[in-house]
Amino acid sequence: MKLKLLITAVVVAVTAVACSPAKEDITPIKAEANRIQAHLEFLANDLLEGRDSGKRGHEIAAAYIEAQFKALGLKPAGTDGYYQRVPLRTARLVPDSAKFTLHDGDNNIEMPFPRAFLSSPSTLSEHREVTAPLVFVGYGIVSDEFDIDDYAGLDVEGSIVVMLAGRPDFLPSEEAAHINSIKTELAVERGAVGIISVHTPKAEEVVPFDVRRMYARSPRVRWLNSDGVPHGEYEQIKGSALVHYEEADALFARSDISLERVWEQMAADEMPTGAPLNLSASLSVRSTFEEIDSPNVIAMLEGSNPDVNNEVILYTAHADHIGVLESFSEEKQINNGAMDNASGVAVMLETARMFVEAGKQGQPLGRSIMFAAVTAEERGLLGADYFANNPTVPVENIVANVNLDMPVLLYDFADVVAFGSNHSSLGHIVADAAELNGIKLSEDPMPEQALFTRSDHYALVKQGIPAVFLMTGFESKNENEDGGEIWGQFFAEHYHRPGDDLATLNEKFGGIRYEAGAAFTQINYDIGRVIANDRERPSWHPESYFGRVFAGGEGSIRH
């Protein structure tokens, strides 16, 4: 304990920015497990009905979080007090309205829905349709960084592009995930009017088409710009579809391209070459709309150093989950989201309390800290993306984002993972904070999942803000338990299922480890404390792909 106190004093003394001098007798601020338990048990209660965005349960969660911020004396940092309401449009597919017809001269081939293809509802208009020639564009990706241009030599103006789902394996996973996410933008820039993605045999191994069929009638949700237009949608794209690989031969029937050869090229990690398919197609879909709103809840703790207190460290944790599932038996099952993400919000609330307590004990912070419980993460990172595009402080003043999403508090973790830590100076800050608490920082154990691009922090990364997504690692302090096995069991059997609730987790895993939650919170607090008092704001590493793509400056790249 004395060694830890000495290390803490040294860290504070070296990094302080015009704060009170470090004192050896300063009482360290400690996370309290019982407080984390109280927050988590409330947020994961059946009465909140899974905290679905736009529903009563999420509003209750938001009111609870607001009350906690008020009790701590944090400053409101929304657009209406603590709230920043996010306008959302939900689109649902009109039954039997999805149509896909191939035109081979005078021969029309109807593709059956949902056996052969799937289509999503449109948030732009209630009726979308297009008829246009088909052009195969390989994976449909372009990257100067990796010397790839699947559109080279192809004219897709006014065409429906046909592309392979996913991306080639030889690309680094995180960078590939970003490139994969902008396929629609790339097609629009080149004049395409529709997109057909082919679900490949490789994609079938990851997420079977049958699983995708289960969600064929799921709504599509987008946040609305001030003019009422859904953000991130493209008017130019009039139709889209996902085609089962076993039904895709019909698309290539008049082409010199053999689909079998395409599968072989994919298996060999080669880039298939695009070409016109000498067919045209018609796509159409009808949708119904519902417009709702759902709040981000945002609070601020102002820093004490007038030279840097306009700079902000942003903590995020999504307060929403997936709500109530209605099964075919009409039995309603509540998805309480105890680990996803009541645990993350509980950690964030306790972190906020610790910073307030530190200020009361004469340990003020140089920079300011903002806490945002964002909405609609489960609908596509929408609450975080809305905030990133409509920040309640100047976006250039946000120096770092620490995101908390699904810390799995079911074992006594011995390591943490910080996705994105290899891209910026935040990496060594996280490593030092973990070491200070007897925990090590491990490398990403699941690089193929590209998790750096799959949670709320990524919306801030796209604004050029260095970020880390903090997660419990796969190692355990207890030699009798395998942290990776427990994490994997949770993910396989309880993630996004009714089993992510208190009763089930207590039964299956012998209880939630709230003391582990306190240890995780302690690290989270120490990360923010160091950033707040460091002389330099966090920076991207010069070699970081994301830093160059989003932060600009010399050496920046477009894609």
Residue 23 pLDDT: 42
In this structure, the answer to whether residues 106 and 218 fall within a common structural domain is yes
Residue ending a domain, choose from 289, 309, 342: 289
In this structure, the answer to whether residues 86 and 97 fall within a common structural domain is no
In this structure, the answer to whether residues 230 and 132 fall within a common structural domain is yes
Tens of pLDDT, residues 141-187:
999 999 999 999 999 999 999 999 999 999 999 999 999 999 999 99
Q: What is the mean pLDDT of residues 218-230?
A: 94
Residue 528 pLDDT: 97
In this structure, the answer to whether residues 65 and 161 fall within a common structural domain is no
Domain that holds residue 177: 91-289
Nearest to 322 by CA among 379, 273, 267: 379
Does 556 map to a domain? no
> Is residue 421 within 8 Å of residue 427, measured between CB atoms?
yes
The proportion of the chain whose per-residue pLDDT surpasses 90, expressed as a percent, equals 88
In this structure, the answer to whether residues 368 and 495 fall within a common structural domain is yes
Q: For residue 507, what is the domain's CATH number?
A: 3.40.630.10
Residue ending a domain, choose from 289, 313, 330: 289
pLDDT at 25 over 90: no
In this structure, the answer to whether residues 474 and 410 fall within a common structural domain is yes
Tens of pLDDT, residues 434-452:
999 999 999 999 888 888 9
Residue 440 pLDDT: 95
Half-sphere exposure of 124 (CA within 13 A, CB side): 14
In this structure, the answer to whether residues 382 and 264 fall within a common structural domain is no
Does 269 map to a domain? yes
pLDDT at 11 over 80: no
In this structure, the answer to whether residues 272 and 405 fall within a common structural domain is no
Residue ending a domain, choose from 261, 289, 317: 289
Q: What is the mean pLDDT of residues 359-366?
A: 93
In this structure, the answer to whether residues 78 and 140 fall within a common structural domain is no
pLDDT at 8 over 90: no
Does 130 map to a domain? yes
In this structure, the answer to whether residues 264 and 301 fall within a common structural domain is no
Does 558 map to a domain? no
Does 110 map to a domain? yes
Does 431 map to a domain? yes
pLDDT at 1 over 60: no
pLDDT at 76 over 90: yes
In this structure, the answer to whether residues 401 and 503 fall within a common structural domain is yes
How many angstroms separate the Cα of 60 from the Cα of each of 52, 344, 491?
11, 17, 27
Tens of pLDDT, residues 500-530:
999 999 999 999 999 999 999 999 999 999 9
Distance CA 420, CA 427 (A): 8
For residue 126, the Cα-to-chain-centroid distance in whole angstroms is 28
**Signed CA dihedral, 69, 72, 76, 78: sign only:** negative
Residue 326 pLDDT: 60
**Entry pTM:** 0.91
Round the average pLDDT of the chain to a whole number and report it. 92
> Is residue 53 within 8 Å of residue 320, measured between CB atoms?
yes
> Is residue 326 within 8 Å of residue 416, measured between CB atoms?
no
pLDDT at 192 over 90: yes
**Confidence category of residue 259, pLDDT binned at 50, 70, 90:** very high
Number of domains in the chain: 2
Does 554 map to a domain? no
Does 352 map to a domain? yes
Residue 450 pLDDT: 86
In this structure, the answer to whether residues 213 and 318 fall within a common structural domain is no
Residue 28 pLDDT: 87
pLDDT at 9 over 50: no
Residue 10 pLDDT: 38
Q: For residue 181, what is the domain's CATH number?
A: 3.50.30.30
pLDDT at 328 over 50: no
Distance CA 326, CA 210 (A): 19
Strands (DSSP E) contained in 460-523 are: 467-472
Tens of pLDDT, residues 368-427:
999 999 999 999 999 999 999 999 999 999 999 999 999 999 999 999 999 999 999 999
Per DSSP bridges, beta strands 275-301 and 323-326 are unpaired
Tell which wins on pLDDT, 261 or 21.
Answer: 261
Nearest to 119 by CA among 212, 5, 10, 26: 212
